[in-house]
Amino acid sequence: MDTVTTDLVLSWLRTVDERVREHADELTRLDSAIGDGDHGSNLHRGFVAVTAALTRSSPSAPGEALTLAGRTLISTVGGASGPLYGSALRAAGKTLDGVEPMPGELLQALTAGLEAVRKLGGAVPGDKTMVDAFTPAVEAFAAALRAGSGLPAASAAAADAAEKGARSTIPLTARKGRASYLGERSQGHEDPGAVSTALVFRALADAAAD
């Protein structure tokens, strides 16, 4: 069945933990170029805590799992990305009702997550932040559902769009976050938060494909 089960969300979040671990050095290297070099360790610490919290409390609904993950990130990650990802997951979790929501409801949850990031951080597409990966990912997910795709294909389309969005940040001048302190010197580097957002969507696609 093409629904968003609790197991799927738990597998998604576990996969994010794994991917963040695998890519921590790369994320830190990207953040060293235009920030303060802690994006990999910030997210690693955060998602280790998320996995521990989910194991401890074994949530019984997908919304509950996402809300707990969001709260955990907010309380364990000091950098900008903790509150931003934390608010996104919490907003998504609060939007996702019931035990087996439909893919359209996951779209509403992802949209609420993106809105939370944009409200909290004030970034718009083109500012060279995670919003540059998150926005096209949600748009691609929506377009795929409209075209009749199920959850696996829509999630794969979202991941492709997020990766493309992350690459699109390379020539941009940062206008939000620490990288904005560099002005035009931030050009020529991929935004670390956009790269981690692409990891999050690829993890969803892989969890949904199983």
User: Cα 26 to the chain's mean position, in Å?
Assistant: 16
Q: Does 168 bind ligand ADP (CB under 6 A)?
A: no
CB of 33 to Mg ion, least distance (A): 11
Q: Does 31 bind Mg ion (CB under 5 A)?
A: yes
- The tokens describing 157, both together, are 């389309």
Partner from ligand ADP, Mg ion, none contacting 81, C-beta within 5 to 8 A by type:
ligand ADP
Determine the straight-line distance between the first and last CA of the chain, rounded to whole angstroms.
Answer: 12
Q: What is the 3-state secondary structure (H, E, C) of 19-87?
A: HHHHCHHHHHHHHHHHCCCCHHHHHHHHHHHHHHHHHHHCCCCHHHHHHHHHHHHHHHCCCCHHHHHHH
Rounded to whole angstroms, the Cα distance separating 165 from 135 reads: 8
Answer for which of 62, 79, 83, 101 binds ligand ADP (CB under 6 A) is: 79
For residues 141-180, which are near Mg ion according to CB under 5 A? none
CB of 148 to ligand ADP, least distance (A): 32
Q: Does 194 bind ligand ADP (CB under 6 A)?
A: yes
Partner from Mg ion, ligand ADP, none contacting 123, C-beta within 5 to 8 A by type:
ligand ADP
For residues 80-119, which are near ligand ADP according to CB under 6 A? 80-81, 84, 117
Q: Rounded to whole angstroms, what are the CA distances from 156 to 51, 88, 210?
A: 23, 20, 12
Q: Does 122 bind ligand ADP (CB under 6 A)?
A: yes
Q: Does 86 bind Mg ion (CB under 5 A)?
A: no
Under the rule (CB under 5 A), what is the footprint of Mg ion? 31, 35-36, 38-39, 79
